[in-house]
Structure formats: C-alpha cells, structure tokens
C-alpha cells in the first residue's frame, strides 16, 4: 500500500472522475439557482446541495470559494456544511 502526502491525496481526489462529475453537476445547479433568483429580481438565494459526504462537502467548500472570488457574498445556511446562502449587489 502506497502512502501519499496530504497534497498528493488531495490531488488524487480532485482529479478523480467522481469528483469532477459531482463538481460539474453541483456548479451547474448553483449557476441555475442564481440565474433564476436574478430573473425574479431577488438579491439572494439559498442553495442546498443535499450532501453530507466528505466529497460533497469538499465540493461545496470549493464552490463557496469560487463564488467569493467572483464577488458574491456567501454564508453557510441553517443546514450547515451543505447549504450556502448566496447574495449579490448588482454584480
């Protein structure tokens, strides 16, 4: 059995087909959810990934970072690790 460093293990997970597939699916859901809210004239929306797996939470964390880097205000919702409350101000 091969021992991996934390960086190598993380890279292996991020490059896995399961991770990429789930990330793409969840990111598309987030984008659709935001667009629907903007079209309604809302200034915030809640996205709940419905996942509580380590892999799912890792993806939610990455999506949270991606949104923040794009200028969105992001908080965790009542569901904790799986839910994001996303706000914007005329992005």
User: In this model, does residue 91 exceed pLDDT 60?
Assistant: no
Instruction: Note the pLDDT tens digit of each residue in 21-47.
Output: 888 999 999 999 999 999 999 999 999
- Identify which of 38, 27, 24, 29 has the alpha carbon closest to the alpha carbon of residue 87: 38
pTM: 0.79
Instruction: Report helix, strand or coil for 87.
Output: strand
Instruction: Note the pLDDT tens digit of each residue in 6-24.
Output: 777 777 777 788 888 888 9
Q: Averaged over 60-79, what is the pLDDT?
A: 90
Instruction: Note the pLDDT tens digit of each residue in 46-69.
Output: 999 888 888 888 899 999 999 999
- For residues 81 and 64, give the distance between their C-alpha atoms in angstroms, rounded to a whole number: 11
**Angle formed at CA 60 by CA 13 and CA 45, multiple of 5 degrees:** 160
């Amino acid at each position: 059995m091969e021992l991996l460093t934390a960086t190598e293990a993380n890279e292996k997970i991020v490059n896995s087909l399961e991770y990429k597939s789930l990330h793409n699916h969840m990111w598309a859901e987030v984008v659709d959810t935001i667009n629907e809210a903007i079209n309604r004239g809302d200034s915030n929306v809640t996205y709940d990934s419905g996942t509580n797996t380590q892999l799912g939470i890792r993806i939610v964390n990455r999506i949270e970072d991606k949104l923040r880097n794009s200028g969105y205000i992001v908080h965790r919702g009542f569901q904790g690790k799986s839910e994001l409350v996303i706000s914007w101000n005329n992005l």
